């Protein structure tokens, strides 16, 4: 078992505790054994860290982050938030919910990813609209183009006397705060592992940037030696940039917290090969992973992030990289409302029996 770093834990808690924060998340999230899944895979012991249960419009990893980011926005006097991502974005759905709760107006600039199906008010988009967000769907060819449109929306609001806060995508200065939310998650997990006398061999997570940054920083600071394996859901052209981006964000968080550790890109493990055709497009293996977890554990993953991350874990088990007797934590970052927008891709129509 690893040693309980009492002093470091206290120091980290104190530093995080000093940051402005609004209450949005139900914490700690449970850490649960998935024994039927482990058995079905004839693989390691698998445990789910249930960040799908953080609360706020069906939960997910963003709830923890918005506690810090939106406290910061409110302190700056914001009355609205301009956020942008893909049409079925979990980030934007949770942002719309946080805005409703905090009395801010949400303006979402959503990028078309899967064609005209993205216009259908289903899944996360349905929830955005029910939450009262102002939604615009755009066709952007690059992140820069989308960021530019977000900036235009913010300028338009300012011209009308509003005080918009530009969120992620168009605001790289504040991502250190997002990562701090996941330093805090790592701390929470660490204490649960100590309580359960559980020493994992690996931690798997669906990760593009801030979530993995916080986890890697927290683990390095506490001296935890289990590798954190990020399965990256982004398009291939962006994938090779993940380790430097994650390290940079981790170091922004380290600076805000005044920690004397820094993360190197070579310390960031990220697999890009489970994305399939591209961001937001389902893979056969991801769909199988979603069905397996649903059938064995009664819980849902999503087609864009956690389903693909689980397909990576399953592949690693099948290839013998992870063995029976080892212990794997799978951080469930949420996202399952997107399932409803992907119903056709699951091809389940034939399973519906109609009695004659």
Q: Which is nearer to ligand PLP, 157 or 302 (CB)?
A: 302
What is the spatial distance between Cα 185 and Cα 179, in angstroms, rounded to a whole number? 10
Write down the least CB distance from residue 90 to ligand PLP, Å. Answer: 3
Minimum distance of ligand PLP from residue 268's CB (angstroms): 12
**Least gap, CB of 42 to ligand PLP (angstroms):** 27
Q: Which is nearer to ligand PLP, 152 or 273 (CB)?
A: 273
The encoded tokens of residue 14 equal 């104190």
Query: In angstroms, rounded to a whole number, what is the distance separating the alpha carbons of residues 143 and 84?
Result: 10
Whether 266 is a known active-site residue: answer no
**Phi, psi (rounded to 5 degrees) for 332:** -85, 105
Output the DSSP codes for 145-164.
HHHHHHHHHHHHHHHTT--E
Q: Could you tell me which residues come within 8 angstroms of residue 140 by beta carbon, excluding any fewer than 6 positions away?
A: 111, 146, 149
Q: How far is the CB of 207 from ligand PLP (least distance, A)?
A: 4
Which residues contact ligand PLP (rule: CB under 6 A)?
60-61, 90-91, 206-212, 302, 305-306, 333-335
Catalytic residue from among 38, 89, 270, 311: 89
Report CA 274 to chain centroid distance, whole Å. 16
CA angle (165 as vertex; 161, 168 as ends), nearest 5: 150
Instruction: Establish how many alpha carbons lie within 13 A of residue 143's alpha carbon, considering only the half-sphere containing its beta carbon.
Output: 11
- For ligand PLP, give the closer residue by CB, 162 or 278: 278
Q: Which residue is nearest to ligand PLP (CB)?
A: 335
Smallest distance from ligand PLP to CB 232, Å? 8
Question: Judged by CB, which is closer to ligand PLP: 71, or 207?
Answer: 207
What does DSSP assign to residue 52?
Answer: G
Of residues 157 and 169, the one with the C-beta less far from ligand PLP: 169
For residue 235, give the 3-state DSSP assignment.
coil
Report which DSSP code applies to 334. Answer: B
Shortest reach from residue 350's CB to ligand PLP, in Å:
28
Residue (62 or 327) nearer to ligand PLP, CB = 62
The three-point CA angle 262-181-196 to 5° equals 95
Alpha helices of the chain — where are they, by DSSP H?
6-17, 35-41, 62-75, 90-102, 123-130, 143-159, 175-196, 210-222, 236-239, 242-257, 284-297, 306-318
Residues annotated as part of the active site: 89
């Amino acid at each position: 078992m690893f040693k309980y770093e009492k002093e470091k834990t206290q120091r980290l808690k104190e530093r995080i505790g000093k940051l402005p924060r609004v209450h949005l998340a139900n914490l700690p999230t449970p850490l649960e054994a998935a024994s039927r899944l482990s058995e079905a895979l004839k693989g390691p012991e698998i445990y789910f860290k249930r960040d799908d249960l953080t609360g706020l419009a069906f939960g997910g990893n963003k709830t923890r982050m918005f506690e810090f980011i939106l406290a910061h926005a409110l302190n700056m006097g914001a009355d609205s938030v301009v956020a942008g991502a893909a049409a079925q974005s979990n980030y934007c759905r949770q942002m719309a919910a946080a805005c409703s709760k905090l009395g801010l107006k949400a303006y979402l600039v959503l990028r078309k990813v899967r064609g005209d199906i993205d216009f259908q008010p289903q899944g996360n988009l349905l929830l955005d609209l029910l939450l009262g967000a102002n939604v615009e769907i755009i066709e952007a060819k690059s992140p820069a183009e989308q960021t530019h449109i977000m900036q235009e929306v913010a300028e338009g609001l300012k011209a009308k006397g509003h005080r918009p806060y530009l969120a992620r995508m168009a605001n790289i200065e504040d991502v250190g705060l997002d990562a701090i939310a996941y330093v805090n998650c790592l701390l929470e997990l660490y204490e649960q592992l100590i309580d359960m006398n559980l020493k994992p061999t690996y931690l798997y997570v669906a990760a593009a940037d801030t979530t993995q940054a916080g986890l890697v920083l927290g683990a390095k600071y506490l001296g935890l030696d289990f590798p954190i394996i990020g399965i990256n859901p982004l398009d291939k052209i962006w994938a090779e940039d993940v380790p430097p981006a994650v390290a940079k964000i981790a170091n922004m968080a380290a600076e805000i917290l005044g920690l004397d550790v820094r993360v190197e890109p070579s310390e960031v493990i990220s697999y890009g090969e489970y994305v399939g055709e591209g961001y937001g497009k389902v893979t056969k293996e991801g769909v199988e992973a979603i069905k397996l977890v649903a059938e064995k554990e009664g819980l849902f993953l999503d087609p864009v992030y956690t389903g693909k991350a689980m397909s990576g874990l399953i592949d690693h088990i099948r290839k013998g990289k992870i063995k029976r007797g080892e212990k794997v934590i799978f951080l469930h970052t949420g996202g399952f409302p997107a399932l409803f927008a992907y119903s056709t891709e699951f091809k389940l129509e034939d399973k519906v029996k109609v009695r004659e």
